[in-house]
Structure 1
Amino acid sequence: MNKDNGINGIKLQYEIIKDDFSRAGEASSNIKKVLRQLGIEDSIIRRTAIVTYEAEMNIVIHSEGGRIKVLINPDQVQIIAEDYGPGIENIELAMQEGYSTAPNRVRELGFGAGMGLPNMKRCSDEFEIQSEKGAATIVTMIIYIKG
Structure 2
Amino acid sequence: MDRRSFLTLAVASAVVPLASGAQAASVAYKPGLVTEKLKAGETVFLDFKASWCTTCKAQERAIQALKAENPAYDQAITFIDVDWDTYGKSDLAKSLKIPRRSTLVVLKGDKELGRIVADTSKGSIKALMDKALTAASA
- TM-score, normalising length: structure 2: 0.31
| Structure with bigger gyration radius | 2
Say which structure, 1 or 2, has more relative contact order (CA 8 Å, 6+ apart): 2
**Which one has a larger percent helix, Structure 1 or Structure 2?**
2
- TM-score, normalising length: structure 1: 0.30
